[in-house]
Structure formats: structure tokens, C-alpha cells
Amino acid sequence: MNYPNGKKQANSQTNAWSNTGKAYGNRGMTLEEDINATNSFYLDSEIAVIHKKPTPVQIVKVNYPKRSAAVITEGYFKQASTTDYNGIYRGKHIDFEAKETKNKTRFPLANIHEHQLNHMRAVQKHGGISFLLIRFAQLDETYFFPAENLFQYWDDKLKGERKSLPYQVIKNSGYLIPFQFQKRIDYLAVIDKLYF
């Protein structure tokens, strides 16, 4: 098969479909890469403006091996970051955290930090839309999990109860997002159903 750059695809195993008909196009891709590609599609199509937030870093030491090549050798995080992504869609503030787990049966709440959860509560309180995108890597499934569904489990964890979200809870209270070609993780389709 010829590709736009005129070169033949080297690895036949990168085929988008297996014998079972299941899409394998996202194998090896991280959740972040899939979200970034989806957000680029949203932006290019003028659907939404959503970006990954940069983590604020204080640079302490820089080496200059060449005049044109600076190398940062020491730095630290200025402050705890909030959530991974934010932006605007249909006049609403969108704010979410993206997490991957290799666990097949649960999502550990230790993957979320208290300041992130507090930020999500504040976004909800002020009329924004906040949620988690959770990928079960071993199952090749990505779920949209509304922040309001998360808060009770977090509060229970602080009281000494469960320290994880069972897979079945996420499956029943969340929304499976099927993988697509251009909109790899089309989380706005879920937002349309839930909020508009």
C-alpha cells in the first residue's frame, strides 16, 4: 500500500483490524496521545478549544554545552497542578483528568490527588463540566466518569472505606468511549448526551 510520503508501510502488524474485527489502531498509544489527537481534531474542526495544561516548573540550573543548545539540569515543580486538561465547549468550561491503569478489576483512588479532586469540585460548583477519562489498558477500554460520581467514593475513602473504584462501578456509572480514527476518544459525544 502506498502512503502519502510514497513509502510502503514497514510493519504488517500495524494493521488497524485483527482477524476478530476488533480495532487495534490504538495499541501502543497512550491515553494522553489519544486525547491530544482528539483535541487537535476538535480544534481544527472548530468544535472546541481544549488543551493540556502545562505543569509549572521552576528552572534552577541550566548547562550551555553550545551556545545554541541549553540543557536544563535541575528544576522543580512550582506548585501542585490541578487537572490535566481544560478548555471551552458550547460555552461551558471543560476540565478533566486523564488516568490509565493496568489493573483489570479496579481503579485505585491513589491515582488522584486531593488538590485535583478539590479543583474538580470547584469547577462543578461554578457550573463547569468536570470528569475523569479512565483507560483500562489491559482491557483496551476508555471510560468517561463524571466527577459527581467520583466525589462520594472519594469521601468514603477518607472515612477509611474502599480505596479504589471497582471496574463494575466505572462500567455501570461511567460511559464507554469507543475508539475512532480521527476523534480517537470522542468524550464530547458523552458531554452532549449528559449536559446538552
Are β-strands 92-101 and 85-89 bridged in parallel, bridged antiparallel, or unpaired? Answer: antiparallel
The rounded average pLDDT for each run of 10 residues, N- to C-terminus, in the chain (196 residues) is 44 35 48 96 98 79 80 72 92 96 96 93 97 96 97 94 96 96 95 96
> Within a domain: residue 13?
no
Q: Where is the binding site, in residues?
A: 82, 84, 97, 116
> Within a domain: residue 65?
no
pLDDT at 18: 34
What CATH number does the domain containing 180 carry?
A: 3.40.1350.10
Amino acid at 188: L
User: Residue 46 belongs to what domain range?
Assistant: 23-53+80-195
Q: Where is the binding site for Mg(2+), in residues?
A: 82, 84, 97, 116
